[in-house]
Amino acid sequence: MKGNVIGFDPDTNSGAISGHDGQRYDFATLDWHGHSQPRHGDVVDFQPEGQRATQIYLLEPEYVEPSFGQFYFLPSGRISRSQYWLKFVLPYIGIIIVLQLMSVLSSSSSPLHILSSILIFIFSLVVVWPSLVVMIKRIHDRNKSGWFCLILYVPLTIFIILLIIWLAALLVAIGAGSTASAPAIGAFAVFVMILGFVCAGITIWFFIEFGCMRGTIGPNRFGPDPVRSKMSQA
């Protein structure tokens, strides 16, 4: 029989299921066969024995492969590591390499060089939102809020802005031939360098956590498990 979990108390390791026959059934964790604790609303299949539910199995929702638009432009849902690498990272790297080769192999004044430079600029702007969306989906796959991405992007954005400011101040000082501001510029450079190391550490952590590690086994609060669904279809 199928039903829905209507409550679970982890302190007593007991809960209740509303069967699709309209009856209420109590259960204990001894009868629960799931990858995580029972949650309100979970759809389950169970064997009723009087007013008790036994042999309870969680019916995992089926993962629906996102369309092109959903994958790149909607931050809801989850994606697996293979989707992240094969559908975003590798195509992104491949396009950048092709555009860079077009630029390098052509003379600086040729139409091909100008075209490749324009395409690189346009592509860099166009890919900003999709790259953020794809990262959020990977963060969801690890059962973390999408706002987690701010840990990476906020320090990185500040670092880039401060680096530009430092380079501009350095060029101005060199152009003016003045050494009076050298200590201040040097101290600022140290701060920018430290922030750069912090950003590098965060980037490595994100690469390992969201680029290399497997997502939550089974469904989480952001949706079904894309890996388990693919395995069940095989």
Could you write out the DSSP letters of every residue in 34-103?
Answer: SSS---TT-EEEEEEETTEEEEEEE-PPPPPPP-HHHHHH---S---HHHHIIIIIHHHHHHHHHHHHHH
**Average pLDDT of the segment spanning 104-123:** 87
**Average pLDDT of the segment spanning 135-161:** 95
Q: Which two tokens stand for residue 110?
A: 């040729």
First to last CA, the chain: 26
Share of the chain above pLDDT 70, in %: 93
Element (H, E) at 194: helix 182-206
What pLDDT does 229 receive? 54
- Residues 6 or more apart whose Cβ sits within 8 Å of residue 34: 42, 56, 57, 58, 218
pLDDT, tens digit, for every residue of 28-81? 999 998 777 888 888 899 999 999 999 999 887 778 899 999 999 999 999 999
Cα angle: 183, vertex 192, 118; to 5 degrees = 120
Q: DSSP string spanning 115-152? A: HHHHHHHHHHHHTHHHHHHHHHHHHHHTT--GGGGHHH
What pLDDT does 233 receive? 46
Provide Rg for the chain, Cα atoms.
26
Choose among 71, 49, 217: nearest CA to 143. Answer: 217
Q: Which two tokens stand for residue 47?
A: 């064997």
Element (H, E) at 188: helix 182-206
What pLDDT does 231 receive? 47
pLDDT, tens digit, for every residue of 190-229? 899 999 999 999 999 999 999 999 998 878 889 888 986 5
CA dihedral 132, 139, 81, 36 (to 10 degrees): -160
**Would residue 143 be called left, alpha or beta, if left means φ above 0 and alpha means ψ between -120 and 50 degrees?**
left
DSSP state, residue 109: T
- Which pTM was predicted? 0.73
**Average pLDDT of the segment spanning 80-87:** 96
